[in-house]
C-alpha cells in the first residue's frame, strides 16, 4: 500500500499527497463488442459494476448510418454491436472480455443460436494496441481452457466507427420484458449470467 509522499506547501506545514497509479488516472474507457443480437449483449453488460453506459448499434460495415432493416438485409457489412463506457478502476477490459466470451458462443461463425447472418458474427473492435493485445491474450486463455470444445472464431479488428441503433433498440430487454424474444432467449441468458457473475453485479 502506498503511503503517499510528503510535500512542503506555502508555510512550514506539511501535507500528505496520495499517489495515483496510471490506471487510476484513466477514469473511463470505451469497449466495442459484437456477440450476436445486441439486445442480449446490452442486457448483460448493463448489469456489471463499473459499466457506466451501454449502447446498441452497428460497427464493422461499409454503409454510413445504416438502419436496422438495412443491417438485417445483410448488405451493409455491419455487425450488431454494443459500445460500453466503463471504469477500468472497477472492472478491467480483460475481465469484460472474459465475460464476453462466456455469455455468447464465440465458436460459431455468423451465427448465435437461431440468429443467422454476418450481422451476428463475433468481433472485438479494439480502440488501441493495448486492447488488441489483451483481446488476443484472453482468446488464448479461453481456447486453452477448452470451455467451448471448439476454437474461437471471434475476429479482432481495429475500431473505425459505431452507429447507434434506433431508439427502440436501446434497453430493449428492460423495456420489453414480456416480448417473446425477451422471455424465451434473453431472460434465460441473463439469469445464467447473474448466477455466474453474482459478485460483479451492480447492487
Query: What residues are labeled active site?
Result: 37
At a CB cut-off of 8 Å and minimum separation 6, what does 152 contact?
101, 106, 107, 122, 139, 142, 143
CA distance 157 to 94: 16
DSSP state letters, 88-152: TTTS-HHHHHHHHHHHS-TTSTTEETTEESGGG-EEEEESSHHHHHHHHHHHHHHHHHTSSSS--
Q: What is the DSSP letter of 165?
A: P
Quickly tell me which residue has 489483451 as its cell: 134
CA distance 173 to 183: 9
The grid coordinates listed for 189 are 441468458
Amino acid at each position: 500500500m502506498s503511503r503517499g509522499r510528503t510535500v512542503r506547501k506555502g508555510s512550514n506545514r506539511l501535507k500528505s499527497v496520495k499517489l495515483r497509479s496510471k490506471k487510476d488516472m484513466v477514469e473511463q474507457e470505451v469497449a466495442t463488442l459484437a456477440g450476436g443480437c445486441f439486445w442480449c449483449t446490452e442486457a448483460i453488460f448493463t448489469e456489471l459494476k463499473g459499466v457506466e453506459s451501454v449502447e446498441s448499434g452497428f460497427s464493422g460495415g461499409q454503409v454510413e448510418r445504416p438502419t436496422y432493416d438495412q443491417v438485417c438485409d445483410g448488405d451493409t457489412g455491419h455487425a450488431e454491436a454494443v459500445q460500453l463506457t466503463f471504469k477500468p478502476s472497477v472492472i478491467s477490459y480483460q475481465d469484460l472480455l472474459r465475460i464476453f466470451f462466456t455469455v455468447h458462443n464465440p465458436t460459431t461463425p455468423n451465427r448465435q443460436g437461431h440468429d443467422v447472418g454476418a450481422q451476428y458474427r463475433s468481433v472485438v473492435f479494439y480502440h488501441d494496441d493495448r486492447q488488441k493485445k489483451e483481446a488476443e491474450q484472453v482468446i488464448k486463455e479461453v481456447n486453452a481452457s477448452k470451455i467451448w470444445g471448439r476454437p474461437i472464431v471471434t475476429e479482432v479488428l481495429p475500431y473505425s466507427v459505431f452507429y447507434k441503433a434506433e431508439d427502440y433498440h436501446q434497453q430493449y430487454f428492460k423495456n420489453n420484458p414480456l416480448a417473446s424474444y425477451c422471455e424465451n432467449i434473453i431472460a434465460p441468458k441473463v439469469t445464467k449470467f447473474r448466477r455466474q457473475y453474482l459478485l460483479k453485479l451492480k447492487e
